[in-house]
């Protein structure tokens, strides 16, 4: 496949298939120079002194159109030339194609191309009145030629009637299609792992001819997951279609390739892309979108994505495959740190006055380093602080705040906390960890230990009177 260079000035005829204005059967109407007349033929001029152009609707007098619903007759009231003058860039390769047919028998016309006042005959065409002849060719704009005339000149017509002869339809003259892709990631970010990103891609044909068999492919960035049901044609041909449900046919998600595939343009099917007109006819082009979820592995990275389109230039005799690639859509993803806390005590039952030793461990499961790590572990009523031994950072017994600081991916820190039971009860001691980064799984950020504090045992054996009235151990 080849990729077209930067598109030259777009060149394309206006009203090439003579579809405007619509006629019921046949009408002779003023050419494009007669703008004071509301109902004139856009684009086309004629050398006829009356400035009239003849249009036929398909099927009138038994003659079908070759393309669309209408066609033109080169001779309206006079033997004449139909033409358009177009701005061109020297060195540009232009394509032409046309359908020609006789009316009463074999008619002959010439194709002239060149600077106004200096056109050069390129070819003559002779066709009978039983079928349309189809012709194609190319023309390279010579140096210094910034305006190019594209003209059809009547040479002869069967029957000799000056107002009869040389049907024309499906006329094109201009540059090859040139698809330009623009891509955006919405919202712009920065985002967090677990957030949803909408990728929106617009394909605009900045060339002259239609981009045929247009297919857009977008491979999901690593670490992202496709959101089922999110494929959508936002605008352009097929707008509103949601495409990964039964009965939809413009696009699909390929799980093996991890790619979304859109078949775009007029006439797109489940098997191949359609036709995308140039921006003169379709200024906004066509826009599609789909959504992905940012996985945990994207945390702390830049997620970069581009889209690619393949299409064909079918203006010549042989289809020419072309490609287009969008710029990068970049999403900044904030770091994430999955903290976990475990808490244990050296005993679950103590008596008033005993010491209990708590061990608190905080662990960073990543994927990024954790900064600003703190663990809140405030002793509940009934426990009096004795000492704290953090493996890193510091502990403030007044607030119960253990300032850990930074934990690398996979690192852990431990706090040994000693307290004395001061009254009976079931005090619950809880530790909770936080960090500056988002925690993708906060369910394990807290852990608790419940302690049973019982009364202290008596230091003496209770006195029980003997039968003689003396206490045990007493002297008689």
Residue with tokens 């623009």: 182
CATH class of 337-454: mainly beta
Which residue from 307, 299, 234, 241 is spatially nearest to 270, judged by alpha carbons? 241
pLDDT of residue 81: 94
Q: CA 314 from chain center: how many Å?
A: 27
Question: Does the pTM of the predicted model rise above 0.85?
Answer: no
Strands 286-294 and 232-235: antiparallel
For 320, residues 6+ apart whose C-beta sits below 8 A from its C-beta are 2, 176, 312, 313, 314
**DSSP E strands, 47-156:** 52-57, 70-73, 81-87, 93-101, 107-115, 118-127, 133-140, 147-156
The DSSP bridge partners found for residue 86 are 148
Assigned CATH topology for domain 26-174: Jelly Rolls (2.60.120)
For the four alpha carbons of 22, 27, 32 and 36, in that order, the dihedral sign comes to negative
Return d(Cα 475, Cα 460) in angstroms, integer.
18
pLDDT of 467 reads 53
Taking residue 163's Cβ as centre, other Cβ atoms within 10 Å add up to 14
Angstrom distance (rounded) from CA 196 to CA 71: 51
- pLDDT tens track, the chain, 476 positions: 444 445 456 899 999 999 999 999 999 999 999 999 889 999 999 999 999 999 999 999 999 999 999 999 998 998 899 999 999 999 999 999 999 999 999 999 999 999 999 999 999 999 999 999 999 999 999 999 999 999 999 999 888 876 788 999 999 999 999 999 999 999 998 999 999 999 999 999 999 999 999 999 999 999 999 999 999 999 988 787 555 544 445 889 999 999 999 999 999 988 889 999 999 899 999 999 999 999 999 999 999 999 999 999 999 888 999 999 999 999 999 999 999 999 999 999 999 999 999 999 999 999 999 999 999 999 999 999 999 999 999 999 999 999 999 999 999 999 999 999 999 999 999 999 999 999 999 999 999 999 999 998 764 444 444 455 444 443 33
The CATH topology of domain 179-332 is Immunoglobulin-like (2.60.40)
- Let me know: does 158 contact 107? Beta carbons within 8 Å: yes
362 closest CA partner among 428, 406, 300: 406
Say if residue 21 is preceded by a cis peptide, omega within 30 of 0: yes
- State the Cα angle at 112 between 111 and 118, rounded to 5°: 175
Check if the beta carbon of residue 376 is closer than 8 Å to that of residue 393: no
Peptide bond before residue 23 is cis, with ω within 30 degrees of 0: no
Cβ–Cβ under 8 Å, residues 215 and 261: yes
Q: How far apart are CA 41 and CA 28, in angstroms?
A: 10
467 forms beta bridges with none
* Residue 176 near residue 9, CB atoms below 8 Å: no
Q: Which residues contact 186 (CB under 8 A, 6 or more apart)?
A: 197, 198, 199, 200
Domains 179-332 and 337-454 equal at CATH topology level: yes
Q: Where in the chain are the domains?
A: 26-174, 179-332, 337-454
Residue whose structure tokens are 């005090």: 427
Cα separation, 58 vs 37, in Å, equals 25
């Amino acid at each position: 496949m080849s990729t077209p260079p930067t598109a030259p000035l777009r060149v394309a005829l206006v009203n090439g298939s003579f579809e405007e204005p619509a006629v019921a059967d046949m009408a002779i109407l003023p050419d494009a120079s007669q703008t004071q007349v509301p109902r004139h033929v856009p684009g086309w001029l004629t050398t006829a002194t009356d400035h009239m152009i003849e249009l036929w609707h398909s099927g009138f007098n038994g003659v079908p159109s070759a393309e669309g619903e209408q066609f033109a007759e080169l001779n309206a009231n006079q033997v004449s030339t139909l033409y358009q003058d177009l701005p061109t860039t020297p060195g540009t390769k232009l394509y032409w194609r046309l359908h020609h047919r006789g009316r009463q028998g074999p008619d002959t016309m010439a194709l002239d191309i060149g600077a106004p006042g200096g056109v050069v005959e390129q070819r003559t065409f002779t066709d009978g009145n039983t079928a349309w002849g189809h012709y194609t060719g190319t023309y390279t704009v010579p140096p210094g030629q910034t305006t190019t005339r594209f003209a059809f000149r009547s040479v002869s017509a069967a029957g000799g009637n000056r107002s009869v002869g040389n049907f024309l339809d499906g006329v094109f003259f201009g540059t090859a299609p040139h698809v330009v892709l623009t891509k955006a990631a919405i919202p712009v970010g920065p985002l967090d792992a677990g957030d949803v990103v909408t990728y929106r891609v617009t394909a605009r044909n900045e060339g002259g001819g239609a981009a045929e068999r247009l297919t857009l492919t977008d491979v999901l960035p690593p670490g992202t997951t496709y959101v089922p049901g999110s494929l959508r044609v936002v605008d352009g041909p097929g707008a509103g279609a949601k495409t990964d449900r039964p009965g939809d046919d413009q696009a699909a998600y390929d799980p093996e390739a991890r790619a979304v595939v859109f078949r775009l343009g007029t006439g797109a099917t489940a098997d191949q892309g359609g036709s995308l007109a140039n921006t003169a006819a379709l200024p906004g082009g066509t826009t599609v979108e789909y959504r992905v979820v940012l996985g945990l592995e994207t945390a702390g990275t830049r997620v970069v994505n581009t889209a690619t389109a393949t299409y064909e230039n079918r203006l010549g005799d042989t289809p020419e495959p072309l490609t287009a690639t969008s710029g990068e859509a970049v999403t900044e993803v904030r770091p994430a740190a999955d903290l976990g806390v475990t808490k244990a005590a050296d005993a679950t039952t103590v008596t008033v006055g005993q010491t209990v030793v708590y061990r608190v461990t905080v662990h960073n499961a990543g994927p990024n380093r954790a900064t600003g790590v703190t663990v809140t572990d405030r002793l509940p009523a009934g426990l009096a602080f004795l000492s704290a031994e953090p493996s890193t950072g510091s502990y403030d017994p007044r607030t119960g705040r253990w300032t850990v600081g930074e934990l690398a991916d996979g690192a852990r820190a431990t706090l040994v906390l000693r307290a004395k039971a001061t009254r009976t009860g079931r005090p619950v001691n809880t530790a909770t960890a936080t960090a500056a980064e988002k925690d993708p799984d906060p369910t394990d950020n807290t852990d608790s230990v419940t302690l049973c504090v019982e009364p202290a045992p008596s230091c003496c054996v209770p006195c029980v009177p003997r039968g003689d009235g003396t206490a045990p151990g007493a002297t008689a």
